């Protein structure tokens, strides 16, 4: 019989919007929260009701959700800081009300909302709590002071009691309340057996992500361009949309790269999945990541990841056994790729990538979430 906690409270930055008689929020967040809500008898959300950016919306499957209102706030300008200070009594009051109601308090970090919640949860040391830290947990990375402060509070077992802090990757030497917790996209039934790919044919790379500076899509296109110039035939299937799309299209046109770069825009999960099943590599040259979903999704189908060593990527890729780690500089990245491509057993690398990723399915994620709510979860990396 499935365990269910009685009263689950979720505190998040992602807006909860009432539309067409249902509650809507950011689609990837909704996909996971539907699982958390499945194992609770009552569900409430504390989050802003509006957000200053357009986001990909999806409705929650759970219909009986209640919400606590807080205004959207930020600390990125003098005006916004003053506005946040004015709103802070209401925000703290709502958080205290919400946490007093809950049996299990779940924070979604890092964010401005969760920063305040990290302080308020100190008032409830005997309640069961969990935090999904969706950002980069790497203690040696360069991060905003607000993120650092949240990490410091969460990992402090004297101040923060009865809290399971769920982070991406395996970080030796962490405090006893920090647990590796791996996200997932595909189900057990979507596993496929390993099948070697022909690396003597023109190489197919998949990029799946937002077209924003942090993902470095232009560097990715230039990477493919330079491979072709160096006599390694390669093609890029680029999925995603964003503010850089026009700039990228202009670059492709000016450099006459239409034969080796195809921009597909946003596509359904099934379309991206089909591309990954036939591609040789998936590529992500990001500046920063929390959970690099695109890397894990490609590995699931035997695509060798080509990625910068941000967040937990080096651990995911077995420090080079399951993928190709490169520097975020064009010539260096191309040289490292060419060296590995010409010297390594790519079939073995792809098989190791697939075996690792297929161990982390959505079915396993669902079981892990249930264990967290029961209080019995332990890391299984």
Contact present, 163 and 186 (Cβ < 8 Å): no
Superfamily of domain 188-357: Glycogen Phosphorylase B; (3.40.50.2000)
Domain ranges of the chain: 5-184+361-374, 188-357
pTM of the model: 0.89
In this structure, are residues 167 and 179 in contact, taking their beta carbons and an 8 Å threshold? Answer: yes
Tell the CATH topology of 5-184+361-374: Rossmann fold (3.40.50)
**Same topology between domain 5-184+361-374 and domain 188-357:** yes
What does each of the 381 residues of the chain score in pLDDT, given as a tens digit? 578 899 999 999 988 888 888 899 988 899 999 999 999 999 999 999 876 666 668 899 988 899 999 998 888 889 989 999 999 999 999 999 999 999 999 999 999 999 999 999 999 999 999 999 998 998 888 889 999 999 999 999 999 999 999 999 888 889 999 999 988 889 999 999 999 999 999 999 999 999 999 999 999 999 999 999 999 999 999 999 999 999 999 999 999 999 999 999 999 889 999 999 999 999 999 987 778 888 999 999 999 999 998 888 989 999 999 999 999 999 999 999 999 999 999 999 999 999 999 999 999 999 999 999 998 887 656
My answer on whether omega of the bond before 270 falls inside 30° of 0, hence cis, is no
**Strand order, beta sheet including 128-133:** 65-70, 40-48, 5-11, 104-109, 128-133, 163-167, 178-180
């Amino acid at each position: 019989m499935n365990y269910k906690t009685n009263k689950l409270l979720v505190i998040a930055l992602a807006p909860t919007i009432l539309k067409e008689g249902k509650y809507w929020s950011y689609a990837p967040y909704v996909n996971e929260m539907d699982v958390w809500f499945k194992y609770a008898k009552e569900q409430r959300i504390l989050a802003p009701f509006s957000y200053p950016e357009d986001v990909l919306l999806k409705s929650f499957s759970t219909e009986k959700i209640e919400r606590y209102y807080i205004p959207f706030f930020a600390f990125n300008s003098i005006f916004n800081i003053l506005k946040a200070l004015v709103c802070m009594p209401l925000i703290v009051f709502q958080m205290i009300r919400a946490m007093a109601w809950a049996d299990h308090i779940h924070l979604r970090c890092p964010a401005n909302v969760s920063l305040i919640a990290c302080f308020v949860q100190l008032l409830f040391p005997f309640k069961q709590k969990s935090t999904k830290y969706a950002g980069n947990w790497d203690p040696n990375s360069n991060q905003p002071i607000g993120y650092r402060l949240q990490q410091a509070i969460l990992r402090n077992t004297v101040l923060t009691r009865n809290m399971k802090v769920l982070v991406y990757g395996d970080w030796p030497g962490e405090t006893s309340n920090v647990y590796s917790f791996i996200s997932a996209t595909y189900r057990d039934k979507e596993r496929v057996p390993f099948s070697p790919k022909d690396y003597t044919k023109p190489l197919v790379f998949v990029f799946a992500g937002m077209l924003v500076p942090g993902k470095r899509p232009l560097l990715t296109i230039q990477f493919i361009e330079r491979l072709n110039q160096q006599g390694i035939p390669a093609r890029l299937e680029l999925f995603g949309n964003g503010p850089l799309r026009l700039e990228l299209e202009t670059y492709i046109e000016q450099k006459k790269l239409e034969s080796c770069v195809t921009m597909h825009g946003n596509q359904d999960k099934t379309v991206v999945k089909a591309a990954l099943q036939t591609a040789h590599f998936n590529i992500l040259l990001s500046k920063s990541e929390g959970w690099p979903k695109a890397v894990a999704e490609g590995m699931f189908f035997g695509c060798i990841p080509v990625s910068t060593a941000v967040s937990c990527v080096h651990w995911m890729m077995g420090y080079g056994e399951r993928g190709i780690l490169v520097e975020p500089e064009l010539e260096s990245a191309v040289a490292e790729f060419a060296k590995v491509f010409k010297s390594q057993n790519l079939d073995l690398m792809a098989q190791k990538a697939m075996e690792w990723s297929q161990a982390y399915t959505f079915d396993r994620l669902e079981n892990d979430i249930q264990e967290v709510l029961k209080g019995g979860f332990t890391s299984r990396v």
